[in-house]
Amino acid sequence: MPGFESITDQIRPALILNTFIGKGAIPHALLFTGMEGVGKQAAAKAFAMACNCLRNSPDESPVNSKKPGSSGKPENYGPCGVCGSCRKILSNSHPDIIEIKPSGPFIRISQIRDLCELLAFKPYEARIRTVIISDAQTMNAAAGNALLKLLEEPPERTILILTATEKSDLIPTIASRCQHIRFNPVSRKRLAEMLVESKGIEPADACIFAAMANGSFNRALALSDKSRLKKRDWLVNKIESLSLKETGKCMAFAERLSREKEDFLESLETLKIWYRDIAIFKYCPERIVYSDLSDKTKAASARRTEKDLLSKFNEIRIARKNILANANLRLTAETLVLKLVQSNSPGG
C-alpha cells in the first residue's frame, strides 16, 4: 500500500492528495466519490498515512496552514510505509485513525455522537487525526445533521474523509463543506493485470472478468471464479434455448433465478452484458465482453433486431428496479423470463 502510486489507476486523485501534502494545505474535510471497488478506502488510508508519516514530518501541523516545501523533500509526499506511524495505520492499530461504517443499512446518529465526544479530546499521538466515514450516503437525516455541526466547527489537527458513491447522494450542505475528489472506474486492462498478479488467473479469463466488473476491482475479485463462468454459460444457454411453447421449462427457469435476491440481481447483470454483446457485435465485434462466446454471439446477433434487443434491455431494467423495490422475486422472474424468450418462439 505505501505511496500514492498504490492508488490504482487513479492518477488525478493521487496527484491532488500528493499536492495537499506537498503544499501543507490540507482541507478539514474531503469527499471521495466513485463506484464501489475503485480505491476510495485505500486512498483514504494512504492519505492518513501520508499526513502522519515521519518522512513527511513538518515542524507544525499542515492543516489549513501553508508552508513552503523543503528542498530536501522528495516530490512524492506519499507515505513511506515503514515508519512507526505508517506501520500502525497499516495494521489498523493507530489510536487516532478512526473508521466509521454503516451499522446495518445506516450510519446512525449514535455513531456520530460518539465521534463528536471522541473528537472533543486532543489526538493521542497523531500529527493529524483522521476520521474515515465509509458509505457516507447511508447516514440518516439525524446523523447527517449531527455531522454537519462537526463540519461547521471542525476540531483542530483533525481531517474527515467521507466516501460515497455520488456527491448528489449526500445532503448538499455536507457536500459543500468538503473538498470533492472523484474516483473513476478502473480500466479493464489494469483490472485484468491486477487479477493476474493477485489471484494468478489466466490472462484470457482475467480479461473476461475485468470486462464483467465494469471498473470495480472488488467486483472483479468476486467474479474471478470459474463457477461464475459456468453459471454464465448456463444462463446464456437457457435463455437462448427456451421458447414460449415450453411454459413449464420457463417457469422452472424463473423459479431457479428467483431463489436468492443477490443471485437474481447478478444474473440480470450477466444477461444485460449478453444482450449488449449481441447488440454491438454487428458493428464492433472486437469490443464484446464475453469474447470466449464470440461464435454464439455472432449467431444470436444474426437473428436479433435492434428493436428486440432494446425491449430486452428495458425488461431487465424494469426487473432490477422491481427487485430493489422488494417486489415478489418469483413473480418478477416469471414475467421477465416470458418477455425475454418471446422472440425465441416462431412469430415471437
Interval 258-264 mean pLDDT:
92
Per-residue pLDDT at 4 exceeds 80: no
- pLDDT value at 60 more than 80: no
Stretch 121-132: mean pLDDT: 92
The larger pLDDT score, comparing residue 226 to residue 169, is at 169
Q: Quick one: what percent of the chain has pLDDT higher than 90?
A: 48
Section 76-95 average pLDDT: 88
φ, ψ (nearest 5 deg) of residue 183: -105, 125
At 30, the pLDDT band (50, 70, 90 cuts) reads: very high
What is the residue extent of each domain of the chain?
4-182, 225-344
Residue in the structure block whose three cell numbers are 466513485 = 34
d(CA 5, CA 345): 54
Q: Which of 61-75, 160-174, 191-205 has the highest mean pLDDT?
A: 160-174
200-209 long-range contacts, CB within 8 A, separation 24+: 204/291, 204/292, 205/229, 207/291, 208/289, 208/290, 208/291, 208/292
The CATH number of domain 4-182, selected from 3.30.160.20, 3.40.50.1220, 3.40.50.1820, 3.40.50.300: 3.40.50.300
| Residue/partner pairs of 302-306 with CB below 8 Å, 24 or more apart | 304/278, 304/279, 304/343, 306/279
Judged against a pLDDT cut of 50, whether residue 301 lies above it is answered with yes
Q: d(Cα 285, Cα 283) in Å, to the nearest integer?
A: 6
> What is the structure's pLDDT at 297?
94
Cβ–Cβ < 8 Å for 11, 190? no
Q: For residue 2, what pLDDT is reported?
A: 58
pLDDT at position 344: 67
Segment (H or E) for 119: helix 109-119
Mean pLDDT, residues 7-13 taken together:
83
Greater model confidence, 177 or 57 = 177
- Helix (H) / strand (E) element for 14: namely helix 11-23
Band of pLDDT at residue 190, cut at 50, 70 and 90: confident
Average pLDDT over the chain, rounded to an integer: 86
Is residue 288 pLDDT above 80, yes or no? yes
Q: How confident is the model at residue 104 (pLDDT cuts 50, 70, 90)?
A: confident
Buried b (16+ CB within 10 A) or exposed e, 160-182: bbbbbbebeebbeebbebbeebe
| Between residues 319 and 211, the one the model is more confident about | 319
Give me the pLDDT at residue 72, please: 44
State residue 81's pLDDT score.
83
Mean pLDDT confidence for 93-112: 92
> Which of 54-63, 238-247, 294-303 is predicted least confidently?
54-63
pLDDT of 345 above 60: no
Query: Grid cell 414460449 — which residue?
Result: 244
Q: Is the pLDDT of residue 115 over 90?
A: yes
Quote the CA–CA distance of 20 and 26 in Å, as a whole number: 5
Model-wide pTM > 0.75: no
